[in-house]
Structure 1
Amino acid sequence: MNKKIENGALFIWIVATLATLGSLYYSEIKHFVPCTYCWYQRILMYPLVLIVGVAIAQKNERFAPTVMVFSGLGSLLALYHYALQKLPLLQSTGGSCGGGVSCTAQYVNYFGFITIPFLSLLAFLTIFITSTYIWRQTKGTIS
């Protein structure tokens, strides 16, 4: 694993770890109950810490496609969830996304636009872009 790929993998691992710790902080310390879409985003984010951590430890460059799938799906889900919170048209049809907490609920709203799904979207996009870069760097060199 060359230094660029190793640094990219470490960056992805740090972003995924911070996102995981952030979501646990909001649910376990601040006692914000996650909605259904939040749970799905967690399901896609949490494994990335282990997947990329193991890849770094084993110096395995073949993690990028897997990470791209997880982060790509997570980006789409987070974008929809954010739109559900911010677009009035979707809010009127969205309501509750499966019982319990409404997916339009905004526990935080920093600066009028930064919500938890926005933070999730930012993390997933950062991971997706970085893993795409790593995949392009390793394309053709992985046997």
Structure 2
Amino acid sequence: MSKGILLAWIVSISAVLGSLYFSEVRGFVPCEWCWYQRILMYPLPVLLGIGLFREDRAVKIYALPFAVLGIAASLFHYAQQKIPYFASLTSCSDGVPCSGEYINMLGFITIPLLAFTAFSIITAALLLSKK
């Protein structure tokens, strides 16, 4: 069993559970870009779990595109929250604005930054896992 794939699986499960906690327990309504990040994160526990169960290191080929696209999506979403120029680029007009911040710990830790961190750890763990 690859420790890198195991770490990526644990992080992906944690991210999905955190996402569900924010929406279902805390009542935070996801914005459009939050949904894009969820679309990219939610398949990862399943893909990586199957890869672990089957001891298939090729799962990296299937999981990496989700994680790398997730890095880009969460980085753009974070920029929308923290850089006024990027907030004007969004098409989020219905419901919750994408530039809104439900949490803002220490002045910079927001939900998109948490997603960016999870996607980055998953990507690094998969890239550094043994072949």
Give the TM-score normalised by the residue count of structure 2: 0.95
Query: Cα distance 1:98–1:48, how it changes in 2: closer, same or farther (>3 A)?
Result: farther
The corresponding residue for 1:108 is 103
Structure 1 runs, 4 residues or longer, greater than 4 Å off: none
The corresponding residue for 1:11 is 7
2:71 aligned with 1:88, yes or no?
Answer: no
2:51 aligned with 1:55, yes or no?
Answer: yes
Alignment deviations for residues 6-63 of structure 1 (CA, whole Å, 9 cap, x no partner): 2111100110000000000000000000001101100110110000001111111111
2:50 aligned with 1:64, yes or no?
Answer: no
Distance in 1 (alpha carbons) for counterparts of 2:55 and 2:93: 41
Gaps of 5+ in 2: none
Cα contact 1:52–1:63 (8 A) shared by 2: yes
Equivalent of 1:23 in 13, 19, 22:
19
- How far has the Cα of 1:66 moved from its partner? 1.5
Distance in 1 (alpha carbons) for counterparts of 2:119 and 2:93: 23
Gaps of 5+ in 1: 139-143
Over alpha carbons, which structure has the higher Rg? 1
The corresponding residue for 2:122 is 127
Distance in 2 (alpha carbons) for counterparts of 1:60 and 1:68: 14
Structure with the larger RCO, 1 or 2 (CA within 8 Å, 6+ apart): 2
Percent of pairs with identical residues: 44
Distance in 2 (alpha carbons) for counterparts of 1:107 and 1:123: 18
Give the superposed CA RMSD: 1.2
Distance in 1 (alpha carbons) for counterparts of 2:41 and 2:21: 15
Distance in 1 (alpha carbons) for counterparts of 2:3 and 2:119: 18
Equivalent of 2:28 in 1, 26, 32:
32
- How far has the Cα of 1:94 moved from its partner? 3.9
2:70 aligned with 1:74, yes or no?
Answer: yes
